[in-house]
Structure formats: C-alpha cells, structure tokens
Amino acid sequence: MFTKIRKRDGRVVDFTKEKITSAIFKAARQVGGEDYETAENLTERVISYLFKHIKDEIPDVETVQDAVEKVLIETGHAKTAKTYILYRSKRTRIRETKSELMDVVKDILVETSRDNANVGNSPSAKMLQIASAASKHYYLNNVIPEEMSRAHIVGDIHIHDLDYYGKTLNCLQIDLTKLLKDGFNTGYGFIRPPKRIGSAAAQAAIILQSNQNDMFGGQSFPHFDKSMGEVIRNQCPDTTDDEIFQAMEGLVYNLNTMHSRAGAQVPFSSINLGTDTTPEGRKICEAMLKAFGKGLGKGESPIFPNLVFRLKEGINMNEGEPNYDLFQLAINVASRRMNPTFSFMDASFNKRFGDEVAYMGCRSRVIANRHGAEKSATRGNIAPVTINLPKLALKTKDIDVFFMELNNILDLCSRQLVHRFNVIAALKVKDLPFLMGQKLYMGSESLKDLDEIREAIKNGTLAIGFIGLAEALIVLTGKHHGEDEESWKLGYQIIEGIKKAADNYAEQYDLNFVAYATPAEGTSGRFIEKDRKEFGIVKGVTDKAYYTNSYHIPVGYQISAFEKIEKEAPFHKLCAAGHISYVELPSSPKSNLQAFEKIIKHMAKCDIGYAGINFPIDECRSCGVSGIIDNDCVSCGSEDIRRIRRITGYLSTIDRFNDAKQAELADRVKHAF
C-alpha cells in the first residue's frame, strides 16, 4: 500500500487518509449527511480502488480526487458526488485565476498596462498596476455576486474601476469655498485658512491631491472663480493682478506635477468657472485662463486642470453682457489649448439650477438629488456601470428581442450598482479620512469616525452607462444614427429606454440612479475584442479596434459639424449623469475665433449640455514651436514632438493612449476643413 502522495507543485508528502474522509464528509454535510462512519468506509473503498489501479506508484492529487468521484457515484451517493465535484471545480477555477493573476503581474512588469491614458511608466506606476490587478481579481472572485462578475468577464457589461470596487467611490465636486474659509487637516496637522491668494492656490492644489487619494475618479472645483474671489474680497483685497496671475500659474504647474495617485498619476482635476461677475471673481477667471493659455515652462500645453467655462445668457454669452470679455478670452485660449471646454447653463435640463451645474472633466454631472440639496458642491458619482450595446444587438439581431434583453441587462446593472453601493456604504468614516473625515461629502457633517458612510453617499449618483449606440444600430438596421433618420429615432428610443429604466430604479431603491454617456476609455477596446472572438468580423461593427463612444456619431463618418451637433444634442438631456459632444477641427482655429464662437452658439441653440472642440496640438519639445507637425519640427528639425489629443474628456499625450484609443484617433475625421 502507498504511503505517499504527490502534490500539485510536485512535492511528495505523507499520505493521510483522514484528508479524504474529511473532504467526503464536508461534501455530504452540504446535502444533509451526518454520518462520519460512512465517510470512513467510502475512504477505504477509494484506497482499495487506487491500490488496484496504480499498484505501488505514488498517486497525485488529481488521481485521488478522480477516484473519490468515481467511488461516490458508484456507491449511489449522487448528491454528495455533485457537491464534491462542484467544490473541486471551484478550487480549480481559483487556482487557475491565481495563475492568470501571476501572468498579469508578469505583463505589467514588462510594460505598464494602458487602460488609462494618464498613468506613467514609473516603478510606482507598476506597483499601482499590480495592486490593481490583485484587487480586481479579489473583488471578481470573492465579493461580487457570480452572475454580475460573469456578465463583466464575458463583456455584457463593464464594471468600472473594479480595483476600487469596495474601497471607495468615484468623484467629487469639492466645496472649495468652505475649505478655504474653515481650514482643514490632511492628517499631519491643521492648515489655517489662507490670508493671501498665493497660499489659497497652493491649498487648492493640496485639497485636490488629498482627496484624490481617497477616491478613484476626478476631483473638481464647481465654482472656482467664486471660491477664490471670496478669498481676495475677505482676506487680501489689495492683491495685485500680477499676484493673482502668479498664483494661478502656480496652481497649473502644481496640477501637472503632483504625482499623488500612488506616485503614478496626477489628480484628474477640473475647474469650473465663468459666471462670477464680481470684480474679484472676474480677475480669478481671467488670470486662470491666461495662465493656462501661457502654458508650462517651455510653453507646453497643460494637460490639467480640465477647465470648464460656464456659459449663461445675460452673463457672458452675448456682447454687452458683463463677462462677455471672459467668454472671448476663453475662446482664445481654447483655440490654442483645447481647454477650456464649455458647459451650457441655459440648456433645458440645466436652466432650473441657475448657474449651479458643474461638470467633471470626464463629463460627469451630478445635480438632482432625492436626499438633499440639489447642488454640485460636496457631491459626485458613486460608481458607473456600462452596457455593451453592440453585443446585445449582435446576440439578438431583432429590435423587439433587443429591447427585451436590454431590460434584463438594465435590471442586472441596477442590482450590481446597489450591491456596490451597499459594499461602499458599509465603509466607516475613518476609511476615507479626508473625504469623510474632513466632511467634504454632503451628509458627512454629523458622522463620527466609526460611523458608516451610507447616510452621506446616498447623495451621490449611481450611473447606468452604455457604449456603441452607433454599432448597435448598424446591426439592427444596417445604418447608424448619423446617416439615417429612422436609425436615429430608434437610437433615441433605446437611450430613452435606459433613461426611463434609471428613473424607475431611482424610485424602486430610493437612490439617485441616472443614465450616463460613459467615457469608457479601456472598455471600448475590451468589449470589441471579445465580441470579435464570439461573432467574427462584422462590417461596420467589429471590424475595428474600438466601439464608438456612447451616443456619438462614428468618428470616421463624414458629417457637417453643425449637423453632428444637431444629431447628438438630444441625447444630452437623456443622459443626465454625464454627456459630452465634440467637434473635430483639422488644426488650431486660433486665427478663426469667429468660427469657434459660431460652433459654441450653435451648441447652445441645439440644447447641448457640455462640449469640447478638438484639434491636434503638436509641440516641439526642443524649440517649443506649436502647430501641425507631420514628422520633424519645421523650425528646428527635432523629432521629439509632444502630441496632445483629447480622450474621454481629458487631454493626454498620444504615447499614453491604449491601442483601441490610438486606432480611434487614427479614424477621427474632421468635421470642418
């Protein structure tokens, strides 16, 4: 009789039959068995079976387990056998995913993964990516209900920022006014309210940085001109224009240099401004625009912050209005730097909030609230999930079946978001020391260190997003919504369906569910790759490296800029959790500002909520010349060119784009020449 057994890693250890007995007994108990003696008898049968078949060889674990299965079935213990087999396959899956994880780690150590265009290549970046891979693995296999993690893995849906699933929530519009008035504590001591504009700007950077470490998404100031203007008014009314400019320039520098996200990423910062008409607020706005326009040390275009210029009739939209000059300055800067982007306070869905609606650079918008004040500051998105619309269409091929399946997926998404909400809601204030500890979130004011954060975060939004409306329509009707009126109507109906479902979930769960035009940076490539494997190459659908963003008209389709705006605008009001539209220009429109203003005004007329005007920015790193540079710098011949483009809302340099987004970039056609 054998006395040894070979483990999976090849080591030979002493054979103990109690281990077999214990495994059989555990499986039996799962189905109501209580008799240990039967388990012992079965173990004897397993051993004699093995002895008969392998003689004196040393058996390995798999052989022993096969024998157990065989004996259980042959002796009529079917239920116990089933439990045993299920347990065994689950263990196998865990072992396999562990080895997948090791493969992922190996890949990361070769080159940093490119899911996010603004993560660098530093050792800390690699460390961050590995921790992220391990976290994803953990949440998918141990925390998220299997039905949902399966839907994510097969690509029916995408659960965003999985690595942060249970650690924290997405983004925040920070109440800068309050923090600069009351002071704050980053954990190493109290920071006094600023007495000078320079310190206020430095503190603003520290606040963005500190809170970025407590969250996985963007950090934004909803009323930067008002917050900073108040500091000047109350603390330092004698501040000179030059001092204000220096302060804003310092902030821009800070936001492009502080690698505060585990040493790998600068905070995803956004700054909303444009409607403060006080002299101090106007000066802040002007200085910030000018500092951004001036660029970094060699005149390079800043990547951060994402500036969002608010437009409102009576304040800055038309000649003669008090901040029209700032609108003109904003156009001037945007025509060279692709920033600011523009938000429209008079859009039908924004108007009732005055000039309160703030946007996050990625496009998120948080305003309506079932549980408290309807304002931007102190709130944000909790988490998004994205539906793979093209796959749904490829699976169903029929409009009626598509809508039925869409309802099932929406239902799954709502339950997934509620699950995530409950996991995060159980976190304690002390888990998020700055965000909750320093009372940055609405409703966190009265919470103590060991309290759950549930009462606070119910003021945030749960976003149900989607990708690839265009490709889904091509599958269902043969044409996308940019080229055919009937397809457009169907597209509108689909997104309206998502909106109505979100409204229903809001009622059902009493949480802020909202429909969302997901930015989907990593998702666009992940989905299409899976779908190509499953459905093959489908023309206009899976024959490229990316799915078209949200409700956007395909980037490769020739269409008038004005028509594109008209066709995309109606989707803005359906996607209240966030929306954006772009117009692509072939080069910087800096010498044609009237064209720029005309597009912006057309956007306002069409009920657009948030938009950006894109064009290539190529900058020579050697001599600083900027323009369209094909290969070498036209001025000094250098090949070291920094190429900046907009991706999912934020700016980035091309070398940081992932493959799918690089492919999309190559396909983007300009809407005007």
φ, ψ of residue 23 in degrees (nearest 5): -65, -45
Q: Is the peptide bond before 305 cis (omega within 30 degrees of 0)?
A: yes
Q: Residue 174: which residues within 8 A CB-CB, separation 6 or more?
A: 207, 208, 211, 219, 220, 221, 222, 377, 378, 440
Comparison of 181 and 336: residue with beta carbon closer to another protein: 336
> Could you tell me which residues come within 8 angstroms of residue 121 by beta carbon, excluding any fewer than 6 positions away?
111, 112
The least distance separating another protein from the CB of residue 590, rounded to whole angstroms, comes to 9
Using rule CB under 8 A, residue 623 touches another protein: no
Q: Interacting stretch for another protein, rule CB under 8 A, among 295-303, 362-370, 509-517, 620-628?
A: 620-628
User: Which CB sits closer to another protein, 583 or 647?
Assistant: 583
Write down the least CB distance from residue 595 to another protein, Å.
Answer: 4
Taking CB under 8 A as the criterion, the residue among 101, 130, 665, 672 binding another protein is 672
Decide if residue 634 touches another protein (CB under 8 A).
yes
Binding-site member from 628, 636, 666, 669 for another protein (CB under 8 A)? 628
Q: Any bridge partners for residue 365, and if so which?
A: 359
Nearer to another protein, 70 or 605 (CB): 605
| Beta strands in 473-527, from DSSP E residues, in sequence order | 512-516
- DSSP strands (E only) in 212-294: 219-221, 269-273
Q: What span, in angstroms and rounded, lies between the C-alpha atoms of 273 and 310? A: 6
Distance, CA of 270 to CA of 250 (rounded, Å): 16
How many residues in the shown chain lie near another protein by CB under 8 A? 23
- 469-477 helix and 485-509 helix, angle to the nearest 10 degrees: 120
Q: Is 263 in the site for another protein (CB under 8 A)?
A: no
Contact present, 663 and 546 (Cβ < 8 Å): yes
What residues contact residue 493 under an 8 Å CB cut-off, 6+ apart?
A: none
What amino acid is encoded at 284 in this protein?
I
Q: Does 586 bind another protein (CB under 8 A)?
A: yes
In whole angstroms, what is the distance from residue 376 CA to residue 414 CA?
Answer: 23
Q: Find the binder of another protein among 59, 578, 589, 616 (CB under 8 A).
A: 589
Q: Considering only the stretches 75-83, 303-311, 488-496, 580-588, report the one whose residues sit in contact with another protein under the rule CB under 8 A.
A: 580-588
Please check whether residue 491 is in contact with residue 469, taking contact to mean a CB–CB distance below 8 angstroms: yes
Among 345, 442, 585, 644, binds another protein (CB under 8 A): 585
Asked if 673 is part of the footprint of another protein (rule: CB under 8 A), the reply reads: yes
Q: Which two three-digit tokens encode residue 462?
A: 């749960």
Which part of the chain contacts another protein (CB under 8 A), choosing from 42-50, 354-362, 397-405, 583-591?
Answer: 583-591
Which two three-digit tokens encode residue 106? 């190996």
Nearest residue (CB) to another protein, 279 versus 586: 586
Nearer residue to another protein within complex by CB, 140 or 633? 633
| Secondary element (H or E) of residue 652 | strand 650-653
The answer to whether 379 touches 365, Cβ cutoff 8 Å, is: no
Instruction: Candidates 60-68, 193-201, 526-534, 591-599: pick the segment binding another protein (CB under 8 A).
Output: 591-599
Query: Interface with another protein by CB under 8 A: which range of 22-30, 373-381, 487-495, 556-564?
Result: 556-564
Q: SS3 for 285-309, per residue?
A: HHHHHHHHHHCCCCCCCCCCCEEEE
Closest approach, Cβ 409 to another protein, in A, equals 38
Helix (H, G, I), strand (E, B) or coil at 637: coil
Cβ 39 vs Cβ 25: under 8 Å: yes
Q: Is 6 in the site for another protein (CB under 8 A)?
A: no
Using the rule CB under 8 A, is 595 a contact of another protein?
Answer: yes
Q: Which stretch binds another protein (CB under 8 A): 57-65, 344-352, 492-500, 579-587?
A: 579-587
Q: Does 587 bind another protein (CB under 8 A)?
A: yes
CA dist., res. 156 & res. 138, Å (int): 20
Give backbone dihedrals phi and psi of 184, rounded to 5 degrees, phi first. Answer: -160, 170
Q: State yes or no: residue 560 binds another protein (CB under 8 A).
A: yes
Which range in 84-92, 208-216, 384-392, 587-595 contacts another protein by CB under 8 A?
587-595
Residue 625 CB, nearest approach to another protein (Å): 7
Which of 338, 561, 644, 647 touches another protein (CB under 8 A)? 561
Among 3, 99, 446, 594, binds another protein (CB under 8 A): 594
Q: Which stretch binds another protein (CB under 8 A): 180-188, 289-297, 513-521, 592-600?
A: 592-600
In this structure, the chain runs to a length of: 673
Binding to another protein (CB under 8 A) within 147-186 occurs at none
Residues that bind another protein (CB under 8 A): 560-562, 585-587, 589, 591-592, 594-596, 598, 602, 625-628, 634-635, 671-673
